[in-house]
């Protein structure tokens, strides 16, 4: 049986990724930060899909570097063989560049970029011993620049360099590293942080004239985790129905 590790699997896109793996027969270790109720709901939904599903939730604050090592080690101990790792969790702390505080910058870079690196580093050692592994990092159109989001944009752009480097360093070891760049998918993140004007902008400029669904993102993540994607690495798959630009 294949197993996956997903950060931020309690809600939104991460939950759909967990449920997609479960529906494909995979075991899943996923993390949440503080919303235990949401994590329990993901577990419940997973068992509704497959009563015998092997799914486990781990509390993890991704700004705690020691805790990242501990949880990754624990998940590897519990599941023994993990094939795919999805760096999905991220936060926003928006502000204009000139007004952004050191904390706003550091908090976002720590959760959105440093943590994915630390998670990847932990699992690379595991992948190397298995001579197989898939890393998938969830990015945003903001990586190409996004007003009011200099910290978030920089963290997501940083994932690109990280993913491409890992793809080059470990390709010969059977390890792939790819990015999925998400357009607009309504979740708590967008509902709490995007104003109406911006939501309307996305809808107006998205060639499909609709928002995406978490399931559509999960489907691409699952494909990149599968054996069918074994020759795809160092790619950035944009999932935005042709929308290429953040204002
Ligand atoms: N939604 C969009 O339109 C959109 C667009 C572009 C890119 N993305 C990207 O898609 C990914 C998922 O976004 P989403 O919209 O599904 O977000 P979301 O609904 O806000 O869910 C965030 C997840 O991350 C976890 N999390 C938050 N802060 C954390 C921390 N400090 N440490 C560990 N985990 C933490 C949350 O756990 P709790 O439940 O415990 O809080 C939750 O599981 C992110 O990388 C985001 O940048 C989303």
Q: What is the pLDDT of residue 195?
A: 84
What is the domain count for the chain? 1
What CATH number is given to the structural domain containing 122?
Answer: 3.40.50.720
Catalytic, 152? Answer yes
Residue 61, CB-side half-sphere exposure with 13 Å CA sphere: 5
Residues 6+ apart with CB under 8 A from 239: 180, 181, 182, 183, 212, 216, 217, 220
Position 208 in a domain: no
Q: What is the pLDDT of residue 196?
A: 86
Position 190 in a domain: no
Position 36 in a domain: yes
Atom of ligand 1 nearest to the CA of 9: 43
Question: What is the 89 CA–ligand 1 centroid distance (Å)?
Answer: 4
Question: What is the 92 CA–ligand 1 centroid distance (Å)?
Answer: 9
Position 245 in a domain: no
Q: What is the pLDDT along the chain (247 residues), one digit of tens a residue?
A: 899 999 999 999 999 999 999 999 999 999 999 999 999 999 999 999 999 999 999 999 999 999 999 999 999 999 999 999 999 999 999 999 999 999 999 999 999 999 999 999 999 999 999 999 999 999 999 999 999 999 999 999 999 999 999 999 999 999 999 999 999 999 999 988 888 888 898 899 999 999 999 999 999 999 999 999 999 999 999 999 999 988 8
Q: Ligand 1, atom 17: nearest CA belongs to which residue? A: 189
Question: What is the 172 CA–ligand 1 centroid distance (Å)?
Answer: 32
Position 180 in a domain: yes
Distance of CA 245 to the CA centre of its chain: 20
Q: What DSSP character marks residue 228? A: G
Give the Å distances, CA to CA, from 110 to 74, 102, 114, 185, 243.
Answer: 21, 12, 5, 23, 28
Position 38 in a domain: yes
Domain that holds residue 80: 3-184+214-239
Q: Is 140 in the pocket of ligand 1 (CB under 6 A)?
A: yes
What's the pTM?
Answer: 0.98
The catalytic residue among 21, 32, 58, 152 is: 152
Residue 79, CB-side half-sphere exposure with 13 Å CA sphere: 30
Q: What is the pLDDT of residue 246?
A: 86
CA angle 238, 244, 247 (to 5 degrees): 130
Q: Hey, is 59 helix, strand or coil? A: strand
Atom of ligand 1 nearest to the CA of 11: 43
Position 220 in a domain: yes
Position 169 in a domain: yes
Q: What is the pLDDT of residue 100?
A: 98
Identify whether the C-beta of residue 82 lies closer than 8 Å to the C-beta of residue 119: no
């Amino acid at each position: 049986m294949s197993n996956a590790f997903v950060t931020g699997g309690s809600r939104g896109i991460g939950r759909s990724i967990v449920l997609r793996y479960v529906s494909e027969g995979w075991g899943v270790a996923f993390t949440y930060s503080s919303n235990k109720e949401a994590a329990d709901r993901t577990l419940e939904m997973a068992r509704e899909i497959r009563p015998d599903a092997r799914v486990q939730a781990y509390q993890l604050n991704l700004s705690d570097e020691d805790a990242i090592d501990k949880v990754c080690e624990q998940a590897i101990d519990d599941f023994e063989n993990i094939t795919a790792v999805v760096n999905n969790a991220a936060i926003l702390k928006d502000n204009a560049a000139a007004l952004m505080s050191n904390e706003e910058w550091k908090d976002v870079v720590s959760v959105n970029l440093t943590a994915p690196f630390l998670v990847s580093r932990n699992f690379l050692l595991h992948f190397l011993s298995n001579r197989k592994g898939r890393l998938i990092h969830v990015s945003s159109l903001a990586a190409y620049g996004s007003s009011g989001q200099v910290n978030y944009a920089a963290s997501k752009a940083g994932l690109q360099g990280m993913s491409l480097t890992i793809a080059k360093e470990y390709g010969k070891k059977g390890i792939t590293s790819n990015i999925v760049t998400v357009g607009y998918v309504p979740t708590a993140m967008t509902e709490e942080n995007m104003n109406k004007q911006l939501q309307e902008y996305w809808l107006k400029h998205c060639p499909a004239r609709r928002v995406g669904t978490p399931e559509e993102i999960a489907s691409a993540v699952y494909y990149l985790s599968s054996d069918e994607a074994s020759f795809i690495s160092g790619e950035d798959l944009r999932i935005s129905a042709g929308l290429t630009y953040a204002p």
